[in-house]
Homo-oligomer: A and B are copies of this chain.
């Protein structure tokens, strides 16, 4: 019947996990021998090894990585911290996946966390990761300066910035070719006869948004399009605000004939506004968005975009990361991943009279 467990379940006298000591006792060997077996070190007889393995299996022993790393020379936790805008957004998902795949080859686990463009949150997450002694960080940022990471960098912690280049610290970065991509989109619209082009952009305090706006304006200037004929709307951080802004623009007496939207959600907001206004407007207003999104090719018209390669950004960041971890001491480098314009229809609408 009962009899067995008179132990108070609330206060486990026995530790949650067996230790090497337990395995050693059961196998009738010393603890160091167990250690050798668990780490596939040489100098253990095949027979002893099997006794140890057997004992470990019977106890369901699980080595404690943290304990081992405490003493292990230059011990790595085999853990990396990843900070992205939000793990729920597709760009971050693709990037995360690429990082994970590279990490897996090195038996490295990845902590992922969302910034929500909140500087305080960034600091908190970084702190939490450091206290867990991650081997390094791959990060998007929300702070205006990342100089607070300098001490960490000096300790030899690899730091690779993604999506946005770092400010106040020299470190590796992998980013999209934002200004050029925006310029390409703008040129594309100009080539299709547009001069009254509107720019709808994200929050001005976001580096990539600034870069894209810069690319847009520069291209206008270098193509000789008068800036007076363009409208610039910024600080559109959500679908709804973008939609409203597009509505406003397109209801003007002399509306723009083309729109360049500098971000995913903004593009979608614009598409909604266009659909709201009906095919008259949709078919006469050109649209090129920055950043591709799922199903952009299935819409009507299909959406022309300047696509970023999140997967590649993640893969290159991971590559840089592990190179640093392996001792690469070369100067910090910024890797620029080029964007590519994908013409699908919405961007090829010609300017009307």
A: residues with CB less than 8 A from B are 9-12, 16-17, 60, 62-67, 69-70, 74, 77, 79, 86-90, 92-94, 96-97, 100, 104, 107, 109-114, 127-133, 151, 155-157, 268, 271-272, 275, 293-295, 298-300, 327, 329
Residues of B within 8 A of A272 (CB): 298
Q: How far is the CA of A88 from the CA of B94 in the complex (A)?
A: 5
**How many copies of the chain does the oligomer comprise?**
2
Residues in chain B near residue A329, CB distance under 8 A = 9
Inter-chain pairs besides A66-B66, A87-B96, A109-B113, 8 sampled, C-beta below 8 Å: A65-B132, A66-B70, A79-B111, A87-B87, A109-B132, A110-B113, A272-B298, A299-B300
Q: Report the minimum CB–CB distance from A237 to chain B (whole Å).
A: 17
Q: Which 6 A-B pairs have the closest CB atoms?
A: A66-B66, A88-B97, A88-B93, A60-B151, A65-B131, A87-B96
**Do B113 and A100 have beta carbons less than 8 Å apart?**
yes
**6 residue pairs A–B, Cβ–Cβ below 8 Å:** A17-B155, A66-B132, A79-B111, A87-B97, A90-B90, A299-B299
A64-B131, A79-B132 in contact; A97/B114 too (CB < 8 A)? yes
Nearest residue, chain B, Cβ from A17: B155
Find the B residue at minimum CB distance from A329: B9
| Nearest Cβ on chain B to A44's Cβ, whole angstroms | 21
Other-chain contact of A87, B70, B112, B156 (Cβ < 8 Å): B112
Which residues of B have CB within 8 Å of A88?
Answer: 90, 93-94, 96-97
How far, in angstroms, from A64 to B127 measured CA to CA in the complex? 11
State A131–B77 Cα separation when bound (angstroms). Answer: 11
Closest B residue to A81 by CB, please name it: B109
Q: What residues of B have a CB within 8 angstroms of the CB of A96 in the complex?
A: 87-88, 112
A65, B298: Cα distance in complex, Å: 49
A151 to B58, CA, bound (A): 11
A282 to chain B, nearest CB (A): 11
Q: Chain B's nearest CB lies how many Å from the CB of A209? A: 21
Contacting residues, chain B, for A69 (C-beta < 8 A): 66
A207 CB to closest chain B CB (Å) equals 23
The answer to whether residues A128 and B107 also contact, given A69-B66, A93-B89, A300-B300 and a CB cut-off of 8 A, is: yes
In the assembled complex, which residues on chain B have CB atoms less than 8 Å from the CB atom of A156? 12, 16
**Cβ–Cβ < 8 Å partners of A104 in chain B:** 113
Give the residue name and chain of the B residue nearest to A132 (CB): B65
Q: A87-B112, A109-B111, A131-B62 are in contact. Are A275 and B295 (CB under 8 A)?
A: no
CA distance A69 to B131 in the complex (A): 12
Known: A74-B12, A87-B87, A96-B112. A298 touches B275 (CB 8 A): yes
Query: Are A109 and B87 within 8 A (Cβ)?
Result: no
Which B residues are CB-close (under 8 A) to A63? 131
Chain B residues contacting A127 (CB-CB under 8 Å) are 62
- Residues of B contacting A300 in the complex (Cβ-Cβ under 8 angstroms): 299-300
Q: List, in ascending order, chain B residues with CB within 8 A of A90's CB.
A: 88, 90, 93, 294
Residue of B nearest to A295 (CB): B295
Contact of A298 among B12, B130, B299 (CB under 8 A): B299
Closest chain B residue to A314 by CB distance?
A: B88
CA distance A151 to B268 in the complex (A): 48
Q: How close is A119's CB to chain B, nearest CB, in angstroms? A: 16
